[in-house]
Amino acid sequence: MRPSKLLLPLLTLIISAGALGACGSSKAGSPSAAAVSGTSITIKNFAFSPASLSVSPGARLTVHNEDAATHTVTSVSNAFNTGNVAPGATVTFTAPTTPGTYAYICMIHQFMHGTLVVT
């Protein structure tokens, strides 16, 4: 078994996780995971669904938390932030008006990642 085959994806993961605090304006990388069009994000089992959501500029978006834990939808570039979404709660927020790809996390569980694509 060649460790290098395993190391590269792992390294990429670590690098992208570490880049969260840095400037999020990079347009590098192809959109590998196809963004799903819609206006709602569901949080379940400590994951955002869809992981990548495509929306119109300034769209009104709904976040529904189906977990028993509180979560947030927080842009890593401070473009939007729902604040705490209590278990079972539904909140809304406004998508950025500037087209682009916006990574977001849950501030409480920062391993939770999602992407908002404004087109």
The contact set with Cu ion (CB under 5 A) reads 71, 106, 108-109
CB of residue 69 to Cu ion, shortest distance in Å: 6
Nearer of residues 66 and 100 to Cu ion, judged by Cβ: 66
Count of Cβ atoms closer than 10 Å to residue 55 Cβ:
23
CB of residue 110 to Cu ion, shortest distance in Å: 8
CB of residue 106 to Cu ion, shortest distance in Å: 3
Nearer of residues 58 and 88 to Cu ion, judged by Cβ: 88
Q: Which residues contact 55 (CB under 8 A, 6 or more apart)?
A: 37, 38, 39, 61, 95, 116, 117, 118, 119
Residue 97 near residue 58 (C-beta atoms within 8 A): yes
Q: From CA 95, how far away is CA 66, in angstroms rounded?
A: 21
Nearer of residues 71 and 75 to Cu ion, judged by Cβ: 71
Nearer of residues 109 and 113 to Cu ion, judged by Cβ: 109
Query: Would the CA dihedral through 100, 112, 22, 94 be positive or negative?
Result: positive
CB of residue 7 to Cu ion, shortest distance in Å: 29
Strand partners, 52: 115
